Structures are given as C-alpha cells and as structure tokens.
Amino acid sequence: MESRVRDILIELGEDPDRDGLQKTPKRVAKALRDLTSGYHEDPLEILRSAVFDVDHQEIVLVRDIDFASLCEHHMLPFLGKAHVAYLPRGRVVGLSKLARVVDVYARRLQVQERMTTQIARALQEALDPAGVAVVIEATHMCMAMRGVKKSNAVTVTSAMLGEFHEDPATRAELMKLITMGNR
C-alpha cells in the first residue's frame, strides 16, 4: 500500500522524497488500516459477549455515539452521531457494546444508509428484542469539501424494527428521548 500512496503523490505532482512527505506513504497506509479495521471484527460476537438477564422491557437508548467513517464512493470521511435503542425482552446488553458495534460498522467503507441498517439488524439478531431503532446524523466531507460544497448539510437516516416500526407511539417516545439532549 505504501508504494501505491507514493505513486499517488507523484501523480498529484508532489515529490514524495521531500522533507514533509517522506513518511507520508507509511502514515497513510497505517491510517487506512485503522479506518477500515471493522472488517476484522464480528459485531454479533461483540454483542453476545455481554448479554445479561434483566427484567426490563422499556426503551434502552444510548444517544450521541460519535463515529467517523469513510464513504465508499470517494473514500472521504463522514462524521456524526449514532443513536441506538432497543426494547429488551428480559435480556440487556452491556451499553459499551452498542458503541462498539457502531464503530465496527463505521470502520468499513460505507454509505450511511447501509451502516444504519447493519447496526439495527445486528442488534435484532443478537438480542431478539421487541424492537430496535438506529438513527444516524452525519456530515459528509464528500459534500462539504467537493462537489456541491455544502458544509452545514446533515444527513439523517433511520432503521426501525419491531415495535419501533409498528407502533407510532413507541417511535414518538424514542424520538423525544433522542432530542431531549439537544435543547
């Protein structure tokens, strides 16, 4: 990968041997491996490693989970917050595992829509809850830095499964909980 980054620098008109760029190919390769490390982690294994029997059947929400991902179309970052909720049926998962699952999917080449659905489906499969909801808000550098250059545009996606999909009152309660922190 380092030699390819070096070739890219040359193609851009740069001198990869100049002082500031000598270690750039190595740094870029290391960064890309880190930013795509989610391919090497199993989200279901992460979730199933911390499931506990607890008599709780109301909404569990972890909101404002920061993430950074790379858009698969331009390999530019998109950054935002994920809000992940579920309705347990006597089984809960360690809260940090919800954030870890967001990171697993964010650390792959992605589109926001797919990432939202992947997180929801993983929770549904691992926990079999009465419902799952994932809402993601993100700013895409491919829109902010190039193309239309709209730096304040925020993309919002959601995936609602089970009761969050079927029951408007449950969905409304969730949305109220998500927006409570934004006052």
Of 2, 14, 56, 74, the catalytic one is 74
Per-residue confidence band for 175, with pLDDT thresholds at 50, 70 and 90: very high
In a shared domain, residues 21 and 82 = no
Within 13 Å and on the Cβ side, how many CA atoms surround 87? 18
In a shared domain, residues 30 and 84 = no
Of 14, 142, 165, 173, the catalytic one is 142
In a shared domain, residues 14 and 42 = no
- Record the pTM: 0.95
In a shared domain, residues 24 and 60 = no
pLDDT for residue 183: 60
Of 22, 45, 72, 125, the catalytic one is 72
pLDDT for residue 181: 67
Of 112, 118, 137, 163, the catalytic one is 112
What is the 8-class DSSP label of residue 142?
A: H
Query: How do residues 59-118 score in pLDDT, each as one tens digit?
Result: 999 999 999 999 999 999 999 999 999 999 999 999 999 999 999 999 999 999 999 999
In a shared domain, residues 31 and 48 = no
pLDDT for residue 88: 98
CATH number for the domain including 134? 3.30.1130.10
In a shared domain, residues 102 and 133 = yes
In a shared domain, residues 76 and 158 = yes
In a shared domain, residues 100 and 28 = no
Asked if 47 contacts 127 with a C-beta cutoff of 8 angstroms, the reply is: yes
- Distance, in Å, from the CA atom of 43 to the CA atom of 118, rounded to the nearest integer, reads 10
Percent of the chain with pLDDT over 90: 97
Per-residue confidence band for 24, with pLDDT thresholds at 50, 70 and 90: very high
Query: How do residues 114-143 score in pLDDT, each as one tens digit?
Result: 999 999 999 999 999 999 999 999 999 999
In a shared domain, residues 60 and 18 = no
Of 45, 57, 73, 125, the catalytic one is 73
What's the total number of domains in the chain?
A: 2
Phi/psi for 39 (5° steps) reads -65, -20
Domain residue limits at 16 = 2-35
- Distance, in Å, from the CA atom of 150 to the CA atom of 20, rounded to the nearest integer, reads 30
Tell the residue number behind the tokens 């279901």, with chain if given: 44
Res. 31: pLDDT tops 90: yes
Helix (H, G, I), strand (E, B) or coil at 108: coil
DSSP string covering 128-165 = --SEEEEEEEEEEHHHHTSTT--TT--EEEEEEEEHHH
pLDDT for residue 13: 98
Query: How do residues 33-59 score in pLDDT, each as one tens digit?
Result: 999 999 999 999 999 999 999 999 999
- Examine the residue annotation and report whether 72 is marked as an active-site residue of this protein: yes
Res. 182: pLDDT tops 90: no
In a shared domain, residues 25 and 51 = no
Asked if 69 contacts 110 with a C-beta cutoff of 8 angstroms, the reply is: yes
- Examine the residue annotation and report whether 40 is marked as an active-site residue of this protein: no
In a shared domain, residues 27 and 41 = no
- Examine the residue annotation and report whether 22 is marked as an active-site residue of this protein: no
> Where is pLDDT greater, at 183 or 15?
15
In a shared domain, residues 75 and 95 = yes
- Examine the residue annotation and report whether 163 is marked as an active-site residue of this protein: no
